[in-house]
Amino acid sequence: MFCSRYLEEHLKSPYDNTSEGEVIMMQQIRETWKTIVEQELIAYATEKLESGDAIREAGPLIVQKPPKSEMGDLAFPLFIYAKVLRTAPQKIAEILRDRLSGRQDLPAGELLAAGPYLNVRVDLDALAQQLYAVVSKQGDSYGTNSSLSQKRIMVEFSCPNTNKPLHLGHLRNDAIGESVSAILTANGAQVHKVNLINNRGVHICKSMLAYQKFGNGETPQSSGMKGDHLVGKYYVKFSQWEKEDPSATEQAQEMLMQWEQGNPEVLALWKQMNQWTLEGLAQTYANTGISFDAYYYESETYMLGKDTVMQGLEKGVFYQEEDGSIWIDLTPINLDKKVLLRKDGTSLYITQDIGTAISRHADWPFDSLIYVVASEQMYHFKVLFYILKQLGYSWAADLHHLSYGMVNLPDGKMKSREGTVVDADNLFDELTQMAMNEIKEKDREDEIKDVGATSKAIALGALNYYLLQVNPTKDMVFNPAESISFNGNTGPYLQYMGARISSMMRKFAAVQDEYENILFDSSLLALHEERELVKLIAVFGEAIEEAGRNLNPAIISSYLYDLSRLFSKYYHDYPILRAETPPLVKARVTLVTMVLQVLRNAYALVGIPFLETM
């Protein structure tokens, strides 16, 4: 995928410029051991072959994680050195283990020859102690890094049409856009979130025309409908009418021309209906936690697009057909040709996108602009980027399409004509209602201060997690029955962990004084689950870095799930507040506090609201 490769180029290794206080500890431990093993390997080869070159030629030493924690924390596969050393990898592992075991200058840890691997069980006491210092100092910023700190990244997402309400596909777009923005910010980038309102074009005229014919002056107030739903009703009406009257499409095309020519009546209707839709959309955004730093409107950028196309024609980048339409030849990139301006002079989707890109770079010069747009539009962006490049904009190379897959239903694609589109507002309301029922069923109403707000937060967590569990590039199936389940690998499961820890912390606060003078002793955290928790906490920053590099929020989702599941088991099996001794209580509470902090930080990256109680 070219956009991840792009970011990789622009992403210095986060470990090159690790500043003080910004510590990625597990990485350091890994690097330290890697250097040690590598040196020993070369030393051994030098003794045996009189040179260590063969080792370097065979390939770099790789560090991995053993499949099971009993096997240690780090693994060095030695297969690739077998040939040059003329020794079985099992034997190399043993030799290295024995040689290294004799050294006194190594960090604490245990060496294991595990078949063809040399494994290391690292000393986690020191790590846990250091983690505690770092997590409590950094708090909400724990896990962030500065790998993109010099970068200004604009992220475009959502981009609704003003002729209908948002549906499930938009929700995926919004969730990805918002999450990717948060992840890039956590990697230190300066992020500018922009929306583009598709408020002009023949499809907009369709709902206007139908309203004009059948609307009878209906308004959101008079009908009690949310503005976007009202406008959407007439868009649907148009397609019905279109079937009966073949001239409908022509009439819509005619209206578009009127609109571009500034017909006052058409403009007034357009403004009115746009406003209704935008008010409705604003509500949906507010519910789903979506926000933007800037809005762009097609109606304001299409003229620039038209002008640019005309200039391109003069410069000879484009050409004109006899009927007056303007085209670009795409044979240099193995495509056919593309129309940029209709024969009647009205602009197209791509025309305005040219204008929008140019005005954006002028408004907020970026190092990178990421378009979060469905994969169906890969061709569109390929062409758009090529056009801008041909027009001579140097920043055209910094444009990237984060193409995400479609959201399908179990029985196939969503089709508006067949009424199988999942409406965003309805879905959200349904989820909220489900959450509320759940709260009542569990008899939690007395504990929860604001049941309404909590229900919404649970609905939002469920929705965002459902949408962000899947790698954005892949198509996904939205199963309504499954999406409203709050058990298992779901947003509420994750929220529940945060709520239970919070509850525990409230109880601990009452007795905190008794533990004031007990120091955190990480050596007491010797359980398997405790070691694993420490390691996971330590590796959070790497998950953020990886999610940023791949523009993939699912990496955070799956990190969150791993952490939650591990914690859940730990919490189920071992007492925390009622641990055997006060120092052990202190140690476990400290660990759990770190888990909570990481949960909160991770929630924020994938749009899961944190709940103190649920």
For residues 548-607, which are near RNA according to CB under 7 A?
Answer: 550, 554-555, 558, 561, 565, 568-569, 571-578
Task: Compute the C-alpha angle 185/187/188, nearest 5°.
Answer: 65
Question: Do the beta carbons of residue 528 and residue 69 sit within 8 Å?
Answer: yes
Looking at the Cβ atoms of 117 and 366, the one nearer to RNA is: 117
Choose, by CB under 7 A, the member of 32, 136, 146, 502 that binds RNA. 502
Site for RNA in 394-413 (CB under 7 A): 405-406, 410, 413
Per residue in 360-373, is it b (16+ CB within 10 Å) or e — as a string? bbeeeebebbbbbb
Site string for RNA, 84-113 (x = CB under 7 A): ------------------------------
Query: Site map for RNA, 244-283, x if CB under 7 A?
Result: ----------------------------------------
> Strand 399-404 relative to strand 109-114: parallel, antiparallel, unpaired?
unpaired
User: Which residues are 489's β-sheet partners?
Assistant: none
* 115 binds RNA, rule: CB under 7 A: yes
Q: Do residues 137 and 6 make contact, with C-beta atoms less than 8 angstroms apart? A: no
The nearer residue to RNA, 152 or 500, going by C-beta atoms, is 500
Coil, strand or helix: which one is 291? Answer: coil
- For RNA, which residue of 386, 438, 527, 583 counts as binding (CB under 7 A)? 438
| DSSP bridge partners of 408 | 477
Alpha-carbon dihedral sign for residues 432, 437, 438, 440: positive
Does 435 engage in binding with RNA (CB under 7 A)? yes
Q: Report residue 441 as tokens.
A: 């069923």
Residue 502 amino acid letter: S
Based on CB atoms, which residue is closest to RNA, 220 or 255? 255
Q: Is 349 in the site for RNA (CB under 7 A)?
A: yes
d(CA 73, CA 65): 6
Q: Is 468 near RNA (CB under 7 A)?
A: no
Q: How far is it, in rounded angstroms, from Cα 567 to Cα 564?
A: 5
Q: Binding residue for RNA (CB under 7 A) from 42, 49, 54, 80?
A: 80
Q: Looking up tokens 């952490």, which residue turns up?
A: 563
Nearest distance in Å: CB 29, RNA: 15
- Return the range that interacts with RNA (CB under 7 A); candidates 287-295, 309-317, 377-385, 596-604: 377-385
The site that binds RNA (CB under 7 A) totals a number of residues, namely 93
Nearer to RNA, 392 or 480 (CB): 480
38 contributes a contact to RNA by CB under 7 A: no
Q: Is 117 in the site for RNA (CB under 7 A)?
A: yes
Question: CB 157 → RNA: shortest distance, Å?
Answer: 14
Q: Work out whether 344 is an interface residue with RNA (CB under 7 A).
A: yes
Q: Which residue is it, tokens 């040939």?
A: 83
Contacts of 165 (CB under 8 A, 6+ apart): 226, 228, 229, 232, 277, 280, 281, 284, 423, 424, 425
| Strand residue runs (E) in 262-355 | 294-297, 319-320, 326-329, 337-341
**With 0-12 CB in 10 A as exposed, 13-18 as middle and 19+ as buried, what is 56?**
middle
**What residues from 170 to 199 belong to the interface with RNA (CB under 7 A)?**
198
Assess 3 for contact with RNA (CB under 7 A). no
* One of 53, 139, 221, 379 touching RNA (CB under 7 A): 379
